[in-house]
Amino acid sequence: MRQIEDLHQRPYVSIAVRFSDPPRLQDLDRLVLEGSDLDDIRGCERDRCGLRLSGDEIDRLGRRIAVAGEQWQSAVQEEFRSIMFDRVMTYLVHGNDGMAPYEDHDRPVLPGVEFEAIATRMSQEKLANPAAGEYLRRFPDTHRDDVESFLYWSRERLGAEPIATITHVSTIPAVRDEQTEMVIASRQVFATHYLSASLSLWRSPGRRQLVTDTSCMRDARMSMSFWDSGED
């Protein structure tokens, strides 16, 4: 798959790194939060945080800051990489059911539920293939030898704040009009800002068609859902 190479060519992606199989904590060594994120984390409390984190993750970071003293920034970087790694490992074992809620505001957001809503909408769209949505909804309980997949993390800037993300990419064979096509599905596993869930589908071979649907924070002030198509 060329997705990682393609990502590096996009102006809003500063870095994208594929996880090993199986993932290793060292895969995240190049992940560095910016100063604004560090300051936000330092002021984080449950139900009031500048990053999209679970309550347990907020508590973990707070405990590290409390004992780190003047070295709190490096301690936060290290703990955040551990949190990202834990998110990956939990997702690989439990899929949607293992995705921790975002508890940065007074109303928790369940990313697994948000993704289910997106997959349902896409399965009803002309361009979306039900096989892709079904595989991702039931991952990892549904095993298919013909599906190739991997996870990667990235640093992106889609709005005012830089985003750290984890994404699951799968290439899924599907039959359409009596012909086999490859559906490339890219779904969000985690994001520090703006996004609650996201799913993009590409088709090949022949005329490339792209569908993206995204669930955003109400106050994100950005539109992230779009439809596009074009030639390969």
Residue 40 lies in a domain: no
Identify whether 106 is part of a domain: no
pLDDT tens for 92-118 read: 999 999 999 999 998 999 999 998 888
Has residue 57 been placed in a domain? no
pLDDT of residue 140: 93
Total domains in the chain come to 1
Looking at residue 153, its pLDDT comes to 96
Structure tokens that stand for 222 in this block: 């950005």
Top-confidence range, 80-89, 150-159, 162-171:
80-89
Long-range pairs, 61-68, Cβ under 8 A, ≥24:
65/41
pLDDT in tens, 15-65: 999 999 999 999 999 999 999 999 999 999 999 999 999 999 999 999 999
Write b or e for each residue in 109-130: b if 16 or more Cβ atoms lie within 10 A of its Cβ, otherwise e: bebbebbbebbeebeeeeebbe
The answer to whether residue 82 is domain-embedded is no
Residue 32 lies in a domain: no
Give the list of residues 6+ apart from residue 108 with CB closer than 8 angstroms, or none: 101, 102
Contact status, residue 83 vs residue 64, Cβ threshold 8 Å: no
- 86 inside domain: no
Residue 4 included in any domain: no
Range of the domain at 141: 111-230
Q: Two tokens at 67?
A: 């004992």
